[in-house]
Amino acid sequence: MGLGEGNGALVSTANPITATPMPAHPDPLHQRVLADQTLLGDMAFAVGGPFHLMYPQRVARNIAAFHAVFDRAGVGGTVYYAKKANKAACVVRVCADNSAGVDVSSIGELAAALAGGARGPELMVTGPAKSDELLWLAARHGALIAVDALDELDRLAALPTDMSAAVLLRVRPPGSSSRFGLTDTELRQAISQIDPDGPICLDGFSFHLTGYEPGPRATLATALIERCRAARAAGHVAATLSIGGGFGVDYLDAGRWAQFQERRDHRWFHADRAMAEFYPYHCRSAGAAMLTEILSTGGLAHRLRENGIRLAVEPGRALLDGAGCTVMRVQGVKTREAHGETYDLLTVDGTSLSLSEQWFNSEYLPDPVLWPARTPAPTPVPTCVGAATCLESDMLSHRRIPLPHPAQVGDLLIYPNTAGYQMDSNESTFHELPLPPKLVLHSEQQRFRWTLDRAIA
């Protein structure tokens, strides 16, 4: 649908090259940070470049919400934080302090999780085709290993005789073309190959689905309860089911998101750029609420309880909801024209590699906030955001964001709620630009203090 159709009141004042506003849900802690007269400016002065600001207290809140769902359902449950979603050491520390484990997929992630305070048995090791070194280290530390291929079992069986290993068998979802997980035939072979007397202990099964729907997760978990029962009948422990991650995050309200989708117009984007699909920035049943829905679908909670099965979840993005923002400094402002209208084209001091959604030929949609706030202009200023590199395509925001007033060199642009995947999945020292450091916010006795995150990677 083009502009000029639909809701007249909203459209009549709209500039055809300006995207609809997409403010992130307000978060009291983030609002306090934005409202502070000096905090962000002082941080930017100290760092002298772009940076990420972490709010670890939000991770603690999100873990507690998952734990509360397990408690209410009377289901034994474990939260494993999917570490690939953010490398900050402060997140692992919060997991260690709040009885959450960590899901890792490489030696680097495993080492960082241990260094951050996780204990070996609190780790889940996922990922395809694990190296011998990773398998050995995982077994050595007593981590739970999600086996993705039969040869991983062979290689675990070949470990020194004094070593044992606890495994989940990762199931390829029925009817899927996923490259991960074991087929039915492979599962049968794996189960028959594991000796119930050791040294490999079959603890249960796991899966990780794409998409953010509760239904398919509940259905597959229910089917796997039967597999656990059959494996127990053959003498295995089979007391854990992991339903992976994919718990959604609700970044924007339903109305804003619907408006964006209905009115989306190539004229909103710099150089009329066509974008692939976008992450579903509005999510009806996000994070722990989605776990509630999964557990209540088809009596799953009841089935888990009556079979004494522990449910594991591996949320990445959902544990990082509200847990940080990304701050860039405006380094240049140009005025440009498109479709007969003028707009501002900013260059900030960072790159789109610090806002990783560009990885998917897409972009991060929650609107950045300009800091400090000044008197609003009579009409919003359509503004695109380019990166400090020589690549034409390196833009943080192709879409023209309606900023309340024109940006000036030295202002800060703060992208909200970026801790889940945006900060460091793609980070690079391209152009010999330094990696943006992560600062960690502490709020004690009514005042903010901050430290540098001390990730070892």
In the complex, the residues that contact ligand PLP under the rule CB under 6 A are: 82, 84-85, 103, 126, 208, 244-247, 314-318
- Give min distance, CB of 430 to ligand PLP, in A: 24
What amino acid is encoded at 457 in this protein?
A
- Give min distance, CB of 153 to ligand PLP, in A: 18
By DSSP bridging, strand 324-338 and strand 412-415 are antiparallel
Helix axes 132-140, 107-115, angle to 10 degrees: 30
- Give min distance, CB of 445 to ligand PLP, in A: 34
- Give min distance, CB of 315 to ligand PLP, in A: 4
Question: Which 8-state DSSP code applies to residue 93?
Answer: H
Measured over the CA atoms of residue 56, residue 62, residue 66 and residue 67, the dihedral's sign is positive
- Give min distance, CB of 66 to ligand PLP, in A: 11
Of 287 and 380, the one with the shorter C-beta distance to ligand PLP is: 287
Helix axes 56-73, 287-296, angle to 10 degrees: 10
What is the C-alpha to C-alpha distance for residues 285 and 9, in angstroms, rounded to an integer?
A: 30
CB 256 within 8 A of CB 10: no
CB 236 within 8 A of CB 200: no
Of 50 and 127, the one with the shorter C-beta distance to ligand PLP is: 127
Of 85 and 156, the one with the shorter C-beta distance to ligand PLP is: 85
Measured over the CA atoms of residue 221, residue 223, residue 227 and residue 229, the dihedral's sign is positive
- Give min distance, CB of 110 to ligand PLP, in A: 14
Asked if the bond preceding 372 is cis, omega within 30° of 0, the reply is yes
**Residue 163, C-beta contacts closer than 8 angstroms, at least 6 positions apart:** 136, 139, 140, 199
What is the C-alpha to C-alpha distance for residues 58 and 56, in angstroms, rounded to an integer?
A: 5
Of 287 and 382, the one with the shorter C-beta distance to ligand PLP is: 287
What is the C-alpha to C-alpha distance for residues 441 and 437, in angstroms, rounded to an integer?
A: 13
Of 124 and 381, the one with the shorter C-beta distance to ligand PLP is: 124
- Give min distance, CB of 278 to ligand PLP, in A: 15
Of 82 and 433, the one with the shorter C-beta distance to ligand PLP is: 82
Of 214 and 382, the one with the shorter C-beta distance to ligand PLP is: 214
